[in-house]
Structure 1
């Protein structure tokens, strides 16, 4: 029985004439193999109408990094001279020549200008065309494709061509060799307070929790090796009492999805640990595509959200915290499974991103990402939110997936958006993950140990952490028997009767090369502390056939950049006192400290720090180097924490006085 792909399209089987050859045309894209999970069926009927999109080549993608470094390198005369949103959009938008050249080609081919919609961000041209027109335009043959599991129908070609003078102006065309990204993972989004990377709807405590009964005052530091309180964190990183005169508008933004804080938990925490914070204090909700918070039933409180706010408030108060609560209930709690991560969040911060074309991808992916309006019961019925909120100066994200879970170009396009945020002066901190050098067992391409390759022994980096325009935060701990005055170690914890291991994730990307700002630190690490493992040298995604016997990527971006405490953190969840663990704790701690430093800079009439990595790698002395511990996984000891940067704890943990002195002296 025939079905329809779009309401306006009638597809029928008919062997059409082959497109007329044209020597001026060159192959633009050709699929390597068949479409995954799709069966090729009949040729598309010549008069069927197809919505076509031509993604125009963005300009200056290769120059974005240098522009970011120009405003982020403390030695640059343009340090902290961040760009406006309009300037960033103009930097990457297709050139006038590109728009005019492609539009003229379409007009010469019979696609008149009144049929073409040009997107607001200038990134793509959209028009309807019959299959016959499309095949002539692209020198291609379009076929129906049926999905093997859900019965959906789609349209694609095996290859298509473009005139030689047009190719440099076009990123990709859809329908083309791909109609959408097709890879999916069943694991869903992961909260990084969870070593199992899978606690989902109906589970209101992370697996890594222990009951705890407050037995000492909030200022008592003698038990910090057992329970980390706000006083312990302040003592570890020499954080002074909260500032009284804060700069207006200097809010810390915290990403949450499918996990909801409870005001009752915050009030219990404030009453027991931070009496200077009034009960009722709460983050400002920035709801994205139907996101809701707080929960009205304390028993439904989420360990991730409660953890983030109970760590950040003692450091930043009385500054504001914003919660970016992302996606409606069906998507956020995986009632409608998706494998993507973060695109709807970035859409809401940058309207141009909704239809931004880069690296062969335009806008959100219809399979990997949520689609709004959401017709599901309880779904958000409004349109996709685009450019609704201005980004805060600092954003903390404690969620993620594995790098292997998403197509490389999906990640590259998103990574470029983090670059754009950095150009505008936003610092983005991301928890590095909780599985050491391994990953999640249920992720794509992983074996029983959460590792890659046919032997289940290749290290598995995390996403979005591999993007070099973020600041990745690993986890540390106070070794049992030690005090806040002793050096910390890389975090390591055993839970669930010693069957679940938490260890701070770190390693090397399989997609991105080592960025220039990190190169010296990584070179020194390999020279002085060479890991005892065979390696490979690959980019643009892991390929087992090319990796040989190597188990980590020698030329990939190193993760993490920095670290902060992440073990035995005292929180209230569901009205109970418990301790949690995870790099989910580390990211908001570091982000909150940078928010405090931004406050000092703003009160001096200076700009926010923005992308902080170049300054940190040039000045590691403002951090506490961590030289003890490992991050095991994949049946190895993982990497070691050593003097200098390492892929366990990065450059080290924050030293607030040194960081404050350094950054307030910069322009």
Structure 2
């Protein structure tokens, strides 16, 4: 319940009534204090504080409209992607906003010479005494102490700004927010077991795909043809990795046994971020990284793969504990994100994200990397967490960044998670569910319920089913065959509402296949009347692909593995192949995929068998059309190619 008890108690009082004796109105108010924090004393009036005024960005209310304009196939602007400079200038605070806030501060007695307008244009900053800041903001500052760590923070319970200025301000620091305390990272769970069959004996067979998914099975399931030997140098598939590292020896073993047409030594192009390194010796190999590359290469080769490996070992391994995720990656592919302000967050969060230089032993001692790599046309991300793991404002700022990347033509795909309608056991409750252990826990970042990425669920071939029989959603109870239960993540967000592009699909699901569970409508009614999911939330996943019994070499041995971590690089590779065809025809990348996918559900293989259990329920059920288990379905390469080749 952390998200709801410590975040959604923060309310923006945008329609507050002005105080009788002033034109100031409440801008932010905290109605409760997180249990870890104790208010200890008033701040001494002479204490120096750095006041940071976060300026309201321009055109955020039009951001979704801009993205749909270049992403929806019925738009005359489809495929006319923006440059990075166009994105930055469009969303920068307006001259009117800067002038209005500066005028307010100067008239209140803050000399203009004290004001600093930051390089990224998002802040106006000045040093002040606590007394001056309290007078300016009609507030009182208090010292707070973290009862577990002893760390200190300054915060107010509410503050006010002039009513005429309110529209120009996003937030103020110090303000009402208290740092979010770190919590232990959930251990990455691997779902692997050693099969009884040998790899080489079944490398090209389609008769045993229900027992072992090989590159031949993937190609047959989704009708993926052999790749052309002539490929574009500008269409490398991007794959994100964090705290998990591939072994070249494992890749070579896989190529030798399953794809001898891929030369030994083939490896991803390094795009190492903030001290990251790879590969590692085979004994230290990560099952996740090995899996991603061993699934992607057979589909895209001779296209290349770019490895976005993030963070030095101290942070990536969890030796230095952080809860934040993806921000250092986003910094590296978009320099403006390093200082980008939105939803009360500006730049990386020192309480949640890695801080560089890292002066710990073996740490990366360089500066935070900002804008050093160009994002690839497609980026596959098999990592994530739960919405309740991180503050809503942190996730919303990241979600906006994925929108900005979509505007520039990048397609981003995320895994939906492996716990059905729940989160990892022990995350929020013993069973990984919210509230009293009965409320479904949406995944982040789909693990993103963010509506500006494509979320990928998992399917499988059930025992004794052939490729012709079709796939079902993954439902693997404990011990069958993995040591932990596994089902495809899916459900409805507690942060984001249903986007227009999927509204009809979600409405059809509710109308024709209504889930048998009570629900609530929006965060304000979280858990009301026994509701276990948000009826008004963005539905996920969007699509699916096979994610069970995947043939893999890991630590020098042949195993079978699974997870939506497998589904995501499969679907991402299909999209990268399609972009390759478009480039050869003089066309460009695809950007945000969802509007086109939802308009062309016929181009996917509909999954109508299975569910995604969790939280003491059978979860949601698959159904004809979109469903919150398998989305629109799995890729049909020829049909998807026809759809996307028919677009500008």
Q: TM-score, normalised by structure 2?
A: 0.94
1:81 aligns with 2:80: yes
Residue 22 of structure 1 deviates from its aligned partner by: 6.2
Residue 543 of structure 1 deviates from its aligned partner by: 3.1
| Equivalent-residue separation in structure 1 for 2:125 and 2:370 (angstroms) | 19
Question: What is the correspondence of 1:530-609 to structure 2 with a 5 Å cutoff?
Answer: 530-539=514-523, 543-544=526-527, 547-609=528-590
* Structure 2 residue corresponding to 1:199, chosen from 184, 188, 195: 188
Residue 606 of structure 1 deviates from its aligned partner by: 0.8
Alpha-carbon contact 1:140-1:161 (below 8 Å) kept: yes
Deviates more, 1:248-257 or 1:28-37: 28-37
Deviates more, 1:434-443 or 1:63-72: 434-443
| Equivalent-residue separation in structure 2 for 1:399 and 1:260 (angstroms) | 13
| Equivalent-residue separation in structure 1 for 2:20 and 2:408 (angstroms) | 47
1:635 aligns with 2:620: no
Deviates more, 1:639-648 or 1:491-500: 491-500
1:166 aligns with 2:158: no
1:250 aligns with 2:232: no
Residue 211 of structure 1 deviates from its aligned partner by: 4.2
* Structure 1 residue corresponding to 2:307, chosen from 323, 340, 359: 323
Deviates more, 1:458-467 or 1:487-496: 487-496
Residue 402 of structure 1 deviates from its aligned partner by: 0.6
Residue 447 of structure 1 deviates from its aligned partner by: 2.2
1:450 aligns with 2:432: yes
SS of structure 1 residue aligned to 2:159: strand
> For residues 74 and 305 of structure 1, do their structure 2 counterparts lie closer, same or farther at Cα, with a shift above 3 Å needed?
same
Alpha-carbon contact 1:476-1:488 (below 8 Å) kept: yes
Please name the residue that 1:342 is paired with. 326
Deviates more, 1:301-310 or 1:245-254: 245-254
Please name the residue that 1:470 is paired with. 453
Gaps of 5+ in 2: 1-18
Alpha-carbon contact 1:493-1:567 (below 8 Å) kept: no
Alpha-carbon contact 1:630-1:648 (below 8 Å) kept: yes
| Equivalent-residue separation in structure 1 for 2:526 and 2:353 (angstroms) | 25
Please name the residue that 1:286 is paired with. 271
| Equivalent-residue separation in structure 2 for 1:76 and 1:539 (angstroms) | 33
Please name the residue that 1:123 is paired with. 122
1:360 aligns with 2:344: yes
> For residues 151 and 407 of structure 1, do their structure 2 counterparts lie closer, same or farther at Cα, with a shift above 3 Å needed?
same
1:155 aligns with 2:141: no
Please name the residue that 1:99 is paired with. 98
Please name the residue that 1:187 is paired with. 185
* Structure 1 residue corresponding to 2:603, chosen from 622, 628, 639: 622
Please name the residue that 2:58 is paired with. 59
Residue 221 of structure 1 deviates from its aligned partner by: 1.3
Alpha-carbon contact 1:207-1:496 (below 8 Å) kept: no
Deviates more, 1:130-139 or 1:433-442: 130-139
| Equivalent-residue separation in structure 2 for 1:156 and 1:70 (angstroms) | 41
* Structure 2 residue corresponding to 1:383, chosen from 367, 371, 387: 367
* Structure 2 residue corresponding to 1:612, chosen from 593, 597, 601: 593
* Structure 1 residue corresponding to 2:500, chosen from 513, 516, 539: 516
Residue 391 of structure 1 deviates from its aligned partner by: 0.8
SS of structure 1 residue aligned to 2:492: strand
Residue 495 of structure 1 deviates from its aligned partner by: 4.9
Alpha-carbon contact 1:566-1:581 (below 8 Å) kept: yes
SS of structure 2 residue aligned to 1:352: helix
Q: What per-residue deviation string (whole Å, max 9, x for no partner) do you get for residues 641-660 of structure 1?
A: 11110111000000001111
1:27 aligns with 2:26: yes
| Equivalent-residue separation in structure 1 for 2:516 and 2:640 (angstroms) | 34
Please name the residue that 1:491 is paired with. 474
Q: What per-residue deviation string (whole Å, max 9, x for no partner) do you get for residues 225-279 of structure 1?
A: 1111111100110111121111221111111000000011111111111111111
Please name the residue that 1:9 is paired with. none
| Equivalent-residue separation in structure 1 for 2:496 and 2:360 (angstroms) | 37
> For residues 618 and 497 of structure 1, do their structure 2 counterparts lie closer, same or farther at Cα, with a shift above 3 Å needed?
closer
* Structure 1 residue corresponding to 2:390, chosen from 395, 400, 406: 406
| Equivalent-residue separation in structure 2 for 1:435 and 1:467 (angstroms) | 18
1:142 aligns with 2:141: yes
Residue 50 of structure 1 deviates from its aligned partner by: 1.5
Q: TM-score, normalised by structure 1?
A: 0.91
Q: Give the count of matched residue pairs.
A: 626
* Structure 2 residue corresponding to 1:240, chosen from 197, 200, 225: 225
Deviates more, 1:578-587 or 1:317-326: 317-326
Q: What per-residue deviation string (whole Å, max 9, x for no partner) do you get for residues 517-563 of structure 1?
A: 001111111111111111111147x834xx22111111111110000
Q: What per-residue deviation string (whole Å, max 9, x for no partner) do you get for residues 47-103 of structure 1?
A: 322122111011211211111111111111111111111111112111110011112
Alpha-carbon contact 1:308-1:588 (below 8 Å) kept: yes
Alpha-carbon contact 1:431-1:472 (below 8 Å) kept: yes
SS of structure 2 residue aligned to 1:39: strand
Alpha-carbon contact 2:382-2:415 (below 8 Å) kept: yes
Structure 1 runs of 4+ aligned residues shifted over 6 Å read none
Residue 304 of structure 1 deviates from its aligned partner by: 0.3
Alpha-carbon contact 2:185-2:318 (below 8 Å) kept: no
Q: What per-residue deviation string (whole Å, max 9, x for no partner) do you get for residues 16-48 of structure 1?
A: xxxx99612222122112254222223223232
Alpha-carbon contact 2:609-2:622 (below 8 Å) kept: yes
* Structure 2 residue corresponding to 1:438, chosen from 422, 427, 438: 422
The two structures, once aligned, show a CA RMSD in angstroms of: 1.7
